[in-house]
Structure 1
């Protein structure tokens, strides 16, 4: 992912450059600043995203992410950024509803700046005000200390100087398909194959491989489309995920790379993880440690990786979903999918972007998401004797994955990698019961849920002080169980 910053005011190159420097890690090959009549924009781009020049007659554009269908917008352009500028000028702000792909973008407009973010929030974006002018950035740290009224830019919205903040799309339940399971599985596989094909590009894309069904699906489908695929895993010695990842790598024929780490290394990495993650949420931090190390490893080999994020939300991969009434399941899946933007997708983004790496989420392709929302919930929690999570996805991947992976129950990333108990136990040792009672209340009135979360919050405060409000931190829906 790239890094973008900007303000709806001309001649603010110094301010924009300072903000861009805070997220320079999101780029790797260069940075660019440009001032227009009513806006100053900046961008840092990674190896996997080529910088594009725009003709002098077009308004400057910055983009984090990608638009897979920019050639279908009905405009004559030579590159994605030029297409966005022309589409905004000729079609109006609503053109963003037709874009496919993860994006956070800004276009210098005649009277300010136009800003938009994709429906699922796959590309991060925050906005605020500076001396009354709209400003924005890919990460909170770029705005902290100078911007006011900072908020997360809502997914599926655009901001136009004339119209203000407008919703252009909404994630909603859809009528279910009336097709037999084998037909739905076949159509699902077809859409996943097409999604991965778009994302492997020229073959310089690897894959994060935890050994779970979702990352294994991305790996298996990608390997069938490229002559060589590098896969990456991280974990504690003898962690279950490492064994499953090796099995998938051998089955698919990938070039597999591992990062084995100790408990001391995990603890030493936490400040860096929390700084980039911009969170103290317990589930998010503990699942990010190995993701962060896998990202660092991958950046030594490839400019981009596939990630399996989104499979659990679209296909009912969490154990607690089995206890819900089937009638309530569609709304619950919509809710947890909407929450991805500042929880799991934030993890994926920061654990890749912190190393100048691009992460591509094949499950969150527009065609895949729209199809998944139409699959009957009975096929997501299928099975003869008792509900099996992601049943229809398992059917779609039959023959492409080892049986032990196809039948493996869902394991949280931090459990399979050997992280959770180690971090929770450490927090129990260093934080007393009385300390937790005294310090768990946050300035915004919310409460920290576990000692582990307080441990992370202390590191968060060491990194950011009061510059980032707890109100801006996404919280996962269910706290971890401390044994």
Structure 2
């Protein structure tokens, strides 16, 4: 985990210092600023990790993520957000799925950029998300180099598809366990997190697993079962409604969003990551499994011919929703999240697996979501966890509608009608979202352009006024 900032103009070291201070939580172990012809770059990073910068006669670069060290190969590196200076020109790139965050704006017509929005507030008037799969070069502008699109399925038998998926996931996990004796894994007891934990366990001497939820939450029970099955060192935290209210302002500050469903999940993610920081510097997180293998309930309502396209669209929407949550929850405590389901090799294989293996039904039975993933790891997990139906993070952790119910007691119908229209002309969906937006403005002010805020598809909403 690291954080980068910069400006495409010489002599702005003081500004870069100021921007870095806003994201210092992303790296408390070290800081470097490079003032060169054509721009100034800055980076903060964690203690004990390989410093994420290079500075030699061939050029200067700072990055967040995994960089091979070769700028010519940066398009194949993931996750990655990178800025480089060479010969007075600035080069920026963000990985194809947007796993590593990056934002930009302008100061007097000059490009300025940072890993988080908060570093740009008060610096640039209009802040935008640097699009995934794009690169930028001074004098040339933005160019797209990658875009995930629907592809034809490979003619795979079920057994071959399951075997190849298992191997791809093992290799994706091994990229992060190599050379380590100890690592962490978030564990909700759902299929995706359980899969990564089970795959990581034999690759390290000690695997720490982490779960949290309200008293009686289903995630806690399933996580204990999986942890016992794989013999991990398990940690869990039980929180109350008051705990949720207490951390809500901090969650919104780090998340940089007011999207209701995203914040529900982010609160539990934030709380569990707090435990991670006490034991290990990094932990696996299961994001991407639902989008790659048809885990969400609404996929079952789609026409089979439309399913593949919607899965691709779902993956392409993750950069400013689920992946933003993962990044900000981890960075808030200076930890790192490993999303191995989104390793390039896994994604390439997954999009070519026939959709009937993902949402699979025998005879007249109800389709089983993520069926091919379950088959790929059926020897690793206890039966109950292996075939557990999909439960959203905030539901399994016991958050459910407690936050929405609380918002209804705090915001009147008249207040909602008066305040739900945002400065950019869009509308807040619910009273719950207005509650979050009020906190958002306390942190960041009344921003007139909110394009950088991702909105969850299918979120509950009150009809907009005509």
State the TM-score, normalizing by the size of structure 2. Answer: 0.96
Matched residue, 1:448: 428
Matched residue, 1:463: 443
Distance 1:460 1:352, change over 3 A: same
Cα distance in 1, alignment partners of residues 460 and 15 from structure 2: 41
Question: 1:339 aligned to 2:317?
Answer: yes
Q: After TM superposition, give the deviation of residue 363 of structure 1 in Å.
A: 0.1
Question: 1:232 aligned to 2:210?
Answer: yes
Q: After TM superposition, give the deviation of residue 48 of structure 1 in Å.
A: 6.0
1:101-140 superposed matches below 5 A: 101-140=78-117
Give yes or no for contact 1:47–1:357 (8 Å, CA) kept in 2.
Answer: no
Q: After TM superposition, give the deviation of residue 57 of structure 1 in Å.
A: 1.0
- CA deviation vs aligned residue, 1:33-91 (integer Å, no higher than 9, x gap): 11111110000012463215635313110000113xx2xxxxxxxxx3xx33xx4xxxx
* Structure 2: gaps of 5 or more residues: none
Q: After TM superposition, give the deviation of residue 380 of structure 1 in Å.
A: 0.5
Matched residue, 1:185: 162
2:401 aligned counterpart, secondary structure: helix
Cα distance in 1, alignment partners of residues 217 and 322 from structure 2: 21
Matched residue, 2:17: 17
Cα distance in 1, alignment partners of residues 313 and 144 from structure 2: 17
Give yes or no for contact 1:140–1:468 (8 Å, CA) kept in 2.
Answer: no
**Over 3 Å off, 4+ runs:** 52-56
Q: After TM superposition, give the deviation of residue 96 of structure 1 in Å.
A: 2.9
Matched residue, 1:300: 278
Matched residue, 2:307: 329
1:408 to 355, 370, 388: 388
Question: 1:41 aligned to 2:41?
Answer: yes
Using the TM superposition, name which of 109-118 and 321-330 deviates more.
109-118
Question: 1:56 aligned to 2:36?
Answer: no
* Structure 1: gaps of 5 or more residues: 71-79, 88-94
Q: After TM superposition, give the deviation of residue 23 of structure 1 in Å.
A: 0.2
Q: After TM superposition, give the deviation of residue 15 of structure 1 in Å.
A: 0.3
Cα distance in 2, alignment partners of residues 115 and 293 from structure 1: 33
- CA deviation vs aligned residue, 1:79-127 (integer Å, no higher than 9, x gap): x3xx33xx4xxxxxxx433x23200000013233110000000000001
State the TM-score, normalizing by the size of structure 1. Answer: 0.93
Cα distance in 2, alignment partners of residues 52 and 173 from structure 1: 34
- CA deviation vs aligned residue, 1:329-387 (integer Å, no higher than 9, x gap): 11101111001000000000000011000101010000000000001111100131121
Q: What value does the CA root-mean-square deviation take over the aligned residues? A: 1.4
Give yes or no for contact 2:183–2:206 (8 Å, CA) kept in 1.
Answer: no
Cα distance in 2, alignment partners of residues 417 and 52 from structure 1: 35
Cα distance in 1, alignment partners of residues 461 and 422 from structure 2: 21
1:215 to 193, 216, 238: 193
1:49 aligned counterpart, secondary structure: coil
Matched residue, 1:368: 346
Cα distance in 2, alignment partners of residues 393 and 54 from structure 1: 39
Q: After TM superposition, give the deviation of residue 468 of structure 1 in Å.
A: 7.2
Distance 1:277 1:144, change over 3 A: same
Give yes or no for contact 1:117–1:154 (8 Å, CA) kept in 2.
Answer: yes
Matched residue, 2:399: 419
Give yes or no for contact 1:235–1:241 (8 Å, CA) kept in 2.
Answer: yes
1:54 aligned counterpart, secondary structure: strand
Give yes or no for contact 1:2–1:49 (8 Å, CA) kept in 2.
Answer: no
Q: After TM superposition, give the deviation of residue 401 of structure 1 in Å.
A: 0.6
Give yes or no for contact 1:34–1:41 (8 Å, CA) kept in 2.
Answer: yes
1:148 aligned counterpart, secondary structure: coil
2:78 aligned counterpart, secondary structure: coil
1:200 to 177, 181, 187: 177
2:128 aligned counterpart, secondary structure: strand
Cα distance in 2, alignment partners of residues 392 and 312 from structure 1: 12
Distance 1:48 1:428, change over 3 A: farther
Residue-pair matches, total: 459
Give yes or no for contact 1:48–1:304 (8 Å, CA) kept in 2.
Answer: no
1:374 aligned counterpart, secondary structure: coil
1:238-257 superposed matches below 5 A: 238-257=216-235
